[in-house]
Chain A
Amino acid sequence: GAGVSQSPSNKVTEKGKDVELRCDPISGHTALYWYRQSLGQGLEFLIYFQGNSAPDKSGLPSDRFSAERTGGSVSTLTIQRTQQEDSAVYLCASSPRSYNEQFFGPGTRLTVL
């Protein structure tokens, strides 16, 4: 079946612009996670959704970052006024429910010039 999909796969933007990243989880998965991974680094947790609510948004680096999930399915991660340090791969993962294995999407590579 279809896995987690993310779009765009690559995004190049200029410093100061806003970007929106999209995640389509596996159908029926109630838990959805966003992570950030810089080159050669580990996984930095950003936010977690259970259904449409976000029990844990403690990982969002600043108020320029926000995320929403509608209909218990698609999620968007928005970064306002992008900075060069925002350049990274943004990974989305979904899970049938919390505590289960996570299925990762291919990621969106964001480059801020």
Chain B
Amino acid sequence: GQQVMQIPQYQHVQEGEDFTTYCNSSTTLSNIQWYKQRPGGHPVFLIQLVKSGEVKKQKRLTFQFGEAKKNSSLHITATQTTDVGTYFCARGSTLGRLYFGRGTQLTVWP
């Protein structure tokens, strides 16, 4: 269907370790968006990927869109306590709405 599967659901890392969350779809995606929600906050847009094989970087964050446009990943290098939160991927639809994944909740131990 239209849903995107996001794994893992939870990830606990020591500060300085790397972190990756994956977003998978059974159908081809026109685009994928990533959002971050800090504890007690609201989701904030991070990035949108559109092209097959696209890779975008934001400081320690690397976003990838699969060659087949059926999966995407967000990788954080050398996590910091400020990276704590839930990371959501979201796919667009022909009707204009987004379908959000369930999110990956990241905990970073100092």
The A-contacting residues of B in range 1-54, CB under 8 angstroms, are: 31, 33, 35, 41-45, 48
Contact of B96 among A42, A43, A99, A106 (CB under 8 A): A99
The residue that B97 contacts in the complex, of A45, A103, A104, A106, with Cβ under 8 A, is: A45
Which residue of the partner chain, among B31, B33, B42, B48, contacts A91 with CB atoms under 8 Å?
B42
- Report the minimal beta-carbon distance from B67 to chain A, rounded to whole angstroms: 22
> Do A104 and B44 touch across chains, with their CB atoms under 8 A apart?
yes
Cβ-based interface call for B100 (8 A): yes
**Do residues B33 and A50 form an inter-chain contact, with CB atoms below 8 A?**
no
Q: Assuming A31-B96, A48-B95, A55-B96, is B102 touching A42 (CB within 8 A)?
A: yes
B44 → chain A closest CB, angstroms: 7
Closest to B6 in A: A42
**Is B103 positioned at the interface, with any CB of A under 8 Å from its CB?**
yes
Known: A101-B33, A101-B48. A43 touches B97 (CB 8 A): no
Assess whether B108 is interfacial by the CB under 8 Å rule: no
Question: In the complex the two chains form, what is the Cα distance from A103 to B95 in whole Å?
Answer: 18
CA distance A93 to B35 in the complex (A): 13
Q: How far is the CA of A108 from the CA of B98 in the complex (A)?
A: 21
Interchain Cβ contacts within 8 Å, total number: 52
Closest to B44 in A: A104
Residues of B within 8 A of A93 (CB): 43
Does residue A107 face the partner (Cβ distance < 8 Å to B)? yes
Q: CA–CA, A31 to B31, complex, Å? A: 18
Interface residues of A (CB under 8 A from B): 31, 33, 40-43, 45, 48, 50, 55-56, 91, 93, 98-99, 101-107
- Could you jot down 8 A-B contacts, CB within 8 Å? A42-B103, A43-B88, A43-B103, A56-B96, A91-B43, A99-B31, A102-B43, A104-B44
Q: A45-B99, A102-B35 are in contact. List 20 more A-B contacts (CB 8 A).
A: A33-B97, A41-B102, A42-B100, A43-B43, A43-B88, A43-B100, A48-B96, A55-B96, A56-B97, A93-B43, A98-B96, A98-B97, A101-B33, A101-B45, A102-B33, A103-B45, A104-B43, A104-B44, A106-B42, A107-B42
